[in-house]
Amino acid sequence: MALYVDSADRSAVEPLLATGLFTGVTTNPSLLARAGKTQEDLPAVFAWATAAGAQQVFMQTLGTTTTEIVTCGRRIRDLGPQAVVKIPASREGLAAARVLTDENVPILVTAVHHATQALLAQAAGAQFIAPYVGRMTDRGREGVAQTVLMQRLLSGASTRVLAASLRSGDDVAALAAAGVPDFALSAPLCEALLSDDLTIAAAAEFEAIGASWS
């Protein structure tokens, strides 16, 4: 199992990586924009994330044609061995993924909204797929159920499910129990998982008892 911080905000990501609980960082153009960055900032994001301990940094391509996506993917991969190229599950994107996997570039097919796209990503040789769990549910598809189906379809395959667009710890637990191995979690969700109110109260109680002994 691997947990990734889904953010390009250095101030949010670095403390989470410092816990040693998160394998790396996932980004996309929306997350870059939220952090006040653009595609041109990817080398800098890659540099600080790997310096902070990220074993993998997922960065997304731009481009509307297969050729443009392939060119962008090669630039991302050239940043270093920890770079994983994210490509949307469009017709052009899947074709680009096939080209890049043939060059041994690690690929995550992202923005997956239906279980059949998992099969296409596998056919493209992708190392990962990223189902958008919450967004599927928002659009009338049961995101958790679709993602569980993807996991079943890919059972025993080399393509791993990296669940994204997660809204709650309950969804994370349900998917993990169904065998989903990898998760991209927003920084607020990471913090929420690390700060359960009942655990904090129990720990405070133990400390109060300990203080009474001194």
Nearest-angstrom CA–CA distance, 8 and 192 = 18
pLDDT (tens, 9 = 90+) of the chain, 214 residues, equals 999 999 999 999 999 999 999 999 999 999 999 999 999 999 999 999 999 999 999 999 999 999 999 999 999 999 999 999 999 999 999 999 999 999 999 999 999 999 999 999 999 999 999 999 999 999 999 999 999 999 999 999 999 999 999 999 999 999 999 999 999 999 999 999 999 999 999 999 999 999 999 7
Nearest-angstrom CA–CA distance, 90 and 109 = 9
Query: What is the structure's pLDDT at 135?
Result: 96
Return the DSSP state at 200: H
How far lies 210's CA from each of 175, 201, 207, in Å? Answer: 38, 14, 5
Which residue of the set 37, 77, 86, 98 is catalytic? 86
Which residues are bridge partners to 129 per DSSP?
A: 109, 161
Query: What is the structure's pLDDT at 214?
Result: 78
DSSP secondary structure string for all residues of 139-154? TTS-HHHHHHHHHHHT
Query: What is the structure's pLDDT at 28?
Result: 97
Query: What is the structure's pLDDT at 205?
Result: 95
DSSP secondary structure string for all residues of 3-57? EEEE---HHHHHHHHHTT---EEE--HHHHHHTT--GGGHHHHHHHHHHTT-SEE
37 catalytic per annotation? no
**pLDDT tens, position by position, 76-122:** 999 999 999 999 999 999 999 999 999 999 999 999 999 999 999 99
Nearest-angstrom CA–CA distance, 4 and 190 = 9
The tokens for 70 are 């392939």
> Any idea which residue has 């296409």 for tokens?
120
